[in-house]
Amino acid sequence: MTSPSMTNSLMDRLILPGAAGFTRFGYAWRKRGWTADNFSMEGRTVIVTGATSGLGLSAARSLAKLGARVVLVGRNPEKGERARQDVIAGSGNEDVSLQLADLGLMSEVRDLAARLLESEKAIHVLVNNAAVLPAERSETDEGLEHTFATDLLSPYLLTELLLPRLKACAPSRIVNVLSGGMYLSGLEVDDLEYENGDFDGSRAYARAKRALMVLTEQWAEELEGSGVVVNAMHPGWADTPGVEDSLPGFYRLMRPLLRSPEQGADTIAWLAAAPSAAETSGRFYLDREPHVTTVLPGTAGTARQRARLRAALEAYADRSAT
Ligand SMILES: NC(=O)c1ccc[n+]([C@@H]2O[C@H](COP(=O)([O-])OP(=O)(O)OC[C@H]3O[C@@H](n4cnc5c(N)ncnc54)[C@H](OP(=O)(O)O)[C@@H]3O)[C@@H](O)[C@H]2O)c1
């Protein structure tokens, strides 16, 4: 497995230079070392969640351009259809379809998975990209805290439900879209739904992303030898509707430094498509390079906490089936 380079490890651990790498300048700096892409996704089917906006839309466009059949997952029919037309127009590839699901609701995640298994005889790539960062604590109609449901339980459940098809279609890939905010959070397993203490949206989001990193590592271990690789990525700081709506202060301050959605989504498409990206699993990427997963001691969680996280998610998923 490719490990983070010495330089990346050091930069990640020095918080300020590490964060500077999240800007468009970080992207431009790292891009200098890339060779021209000459890979193809012809004959591959990719599912992209959160494909109606920002990074998901951009990744879907890039993957369609590479020749993939792309299935966009969105929750709003009009926005979804607009995204589908945008991807077709931007890629020249008409093999783009739309599936509707509110991913905050596990009943809809289950229904989505059943429809995908029915409509897509082959699934080669799943991109778990959809996420929210609400300022206030709120619960879904199923009674789950929104951030936990959308950012963690939903990708967990969708991945588990699609795994048999991904294995059957191996070589295949899972790409989990995380965030540098994960670096600031430890693994929280006792209060997954943030029921205790004053709710902090950024913290709830960072906890969910940290947990999704742990899942990425667990899946990578379990799937070793199966032909399915699972990697996570951080897009850097990109100018998307999500950042503008959820972090208005940060957005105003940082706007001149933000990456374009295409720059932020580049590593999503690269992890989904590049032959060399299939050689690693369980890693965390920024700008096509693996990076450390922790910069603060203790944030990866103990073996016991990691096992408890998995058991808790399994229990939530089981409850959602009844
Ligand atoms: N942009 C950045 O700088 C940045 C930095 C770090 C990490 N990220 C990560 O990158 C990913 C994409 O973020 P973005 O910046 O592109 O945000 P965005 O513009 O808000 O896009 C988020 C997407 O998720 C979808 N979504 C949210 N809740 C959903 C639900 N309940 N059901 C179905 N779809 C749902 C949204 O659908 P609607 O269009 O219907 O709202 C939208 O398509 C996220 O995982 C985010 O955590 C982004």
Residues 96-121 have pLDDT tens digits of 999 999 999 999 999 999 999 999 99
Note the pLDDT of residue 9.
66
Does residue 72 have its Cβ closer than 6 Å to ligand 1? no
Percent of the chain with pLDDT over 70: 96
Alpha helices in the chain (DSSP H): 6-13, 15-20, 24-31, 54-65, 77-91, 106-119, 146-147, 154-168, 201-222, 241-246, 248-254, 261-273, 303-320
Question: What is the token pair recorded at 190?
Answer: 């006792």
- Cα-to-centroid distance, 281 and ligand 1 (Å): 23
Q: Please name each of the domains of the chain with its CATH number.
A: 6-30+39-320 (3.40.50.720)
pLDDT digits (tens, 9 = 90+) for 66-79: 999 999 999 999 99
pLDDT of residue 190: 95
For the chain, the straight-line distance linking the first and the last C-alpha, in angstroms and rounded, comes to: 39
Three-state DSSP at 285 gives strand
- Is the beta carbon of 172 within 6 A of some atom in ligand 1? no
Q: At 129, is the secondary structure helix, strand, or coil?
A: coil
Q: Please work out whether the CB of residue 155 comes within 6 Å of at least one atom of ligand 1.
A: no
76, 79, 239, 243, best to mutate for ligand 1 pocket (most atoms within 8 Å of CB): 243
User: What does residue 212 show for φ and ψ, rounded to 5 degrees?
Assistant: -70, -30
- Give the three-state DSSP class for 113: helix
How far away, in angstroms, is 21 Cα from ligand 1 center?
21
* Rounded Cα gap, residues 54 and 52, in angstroms: 7
- pLDDT mean over 247-252: 93
Global pTM reads 0.96
Q: What is the dihedral of CA 101, 125, 225, 283, to 10 degrees?
A: -90
Among 179, 254, 255, 268, which is best to mutate for testing ligand 1, by the most ligand atoms less than 8 A from CB? 179
pLDDT at 174: 98
Residue 50 alpha carbon to ligand 1 centre in Å: 6
Average pLDDT for the chain: 95
Structure letter (DSSP) for residue 73: E
Is the Cβ atom of 132 under 6 angstroms away from ligand 1? Answer: yes
Burial class (CB in 10 A: 0-12, 13-18, 19+), 181: middle
75, 100 contact by CB (below 8 A): yes
Give 296-313 pLDDT, tens digit per residue.
Answer: 888 999 999 999 999 999
- 285 as an active site residue: the answer is no
Closest of 250, 245, 246 to residue 201, by C-alpha: 246
DSSP strand pairing (284-286 vs 289-291) = antiparallel
- Identify the residue whose tokens are 């229904």: 111
Structure confidence at residue 7 as a pLDDT band (50, 70, 90):
low
Residue 13 has pLDDT above 80, yes or no: no
Contact 157, 320 (CB under 8 A): yes
233 lines ligand 1 (CB under 6 A): no
Whether 14 has a pLDDT exceeding 60, the answer reads no
Give the whole-angstrom CA distance, residue 78 versus residue 150.
21
Whose C-alpha lies nearest to ligand 1, atom 42? 50
Q: In what helix (H) or strand (E) does residue 71 lie, and over which residues does it extend?
A: strand 69-74
CA pair distance 302, 304, nearest whole angstrom: 5
pLDDT at 10: 60
Tokens representing 239 are 């100018």
